[in-house]
Homo-oligomer: A and B are copies of this chain.
Amino acid sequence: MDVSEFFPIWSQLTNEEQNALNKAAVTTTIPAGTILHDGIGSCRGLYLVKTGQLRAYILSDKGREVTLYRLFPWDICLFTASCMMRSIQFNIIIEVEKSCEVINIPAGTYQGIMEGSAVLANYTNQIMASRFSEVMWLVEQIMWSSFDKRLASFLINESRIDDSRSLVITHDKIANHLGTAREVVTRMLKYFQSEGLVKLTRGTIELLSIEERYPEE
């Protein structure tokens, strides 16, 4: 996985542009828990995810979190370079959720190339449109989905990401992901358990027939 493989439009870039991107790219390994970006002012550049997992979230005054989206291998993290986009007027936090190998490209280099390359600018536009779509999905979930559906779809999605029926996650963490209180999560999980949809044991949530009750729409 080198830089070129992250950009489907690579062959449309000039040799100079390709060389500039390659030259600026630095491959590095970052441990889980690292904060790559903590809002306006932070600007480490783009991260191309080779392995591991990033999480983008927002944080309230009172320390409540809401997960916006995740980035997986083959994804490009754009908002760690948000300084190159003046019109980004919101604070987003990007953390390394599972330790990862990434390729970092400084924002200045990327911006310089993008300013001269319609191909790269249009592709960057597509990346932003994808993230925008993920956030819009979240807005719809928050506005129109009852909490039981949001929690079920969170559990099913986590199970897919981890490729496991047994999730090791605290109720507190789930509450952070979904922007609610721990008590609300615990209560709903207990309801799920009473319905035979999950089985709760100390520190883990085992998925039973939850997909039958909450099929994907």
Convert A124-151 into 0s and 1s, putting 1 for each residue whose CB lies closer than 8 angstroms to a CB of B: 1111111111011111101110000000
Report which of B132, B140, B144 forms a contact with A132, defined as CB distance below 8 A: B132
Contact of A87 among B60, B87, B129, B144 (CB under 8 A): B129
Residue on B nearest A60 in the bound complex, by CB: B144
Count A interface residues, CB 8 Å: 42
Q: Is the beta-carbon distance between A61 and B144 smaller than 8 angstroms?
A: yes
CA distance A125 to B133 in the complex (A): 15
Is A19 interfacial (CB 8 A cutoff)? no
Contacts A58-B136, A122-B115 known; A129 to B88 CB distance under 8 Å?
yes
Residues of B within 8 A of A129 (CB): 85-88, 128
- Contact pick for A116, options B86, B118, B143, CB 8 Å: B118
Interface string of A105-120 (1 = CB under 8 A from B): 0000000001111101
Q: For A116, what are the chain B residues with a Cβ–Cβ distance below 8 Å?
A: 118
Residues from chain B with Cβ under 8 Å of A125 in the complex: 85, 121, 124-125, 128
Contact of A143 among B64, B87, B120 (CB under 8 A): B64
Assess whether A127 is in contact with B87, with CB atoms less than 8 Å apart: yes
Is the CB–CB distance between B133 and A66 below 8 Å?
A: no
**Once the chains bind, are B144 and A62 in contact (CB under 8 Å)?**
yes
**A113 smallest CB distance to B (angstroms):** 9
Q: Which residues of A contact B (CB under 8 A)?
A: 58, 60-62, 64, 66, 68, 85-90, 92, 114-118, 120-122, 124-133, 135-140, 142-144, 179
Given contacts A62-B144, A143-B179, 4 further A-B contacts (CB under 8 A): A86-B126, A115-B118, A118-B121, A121-B125
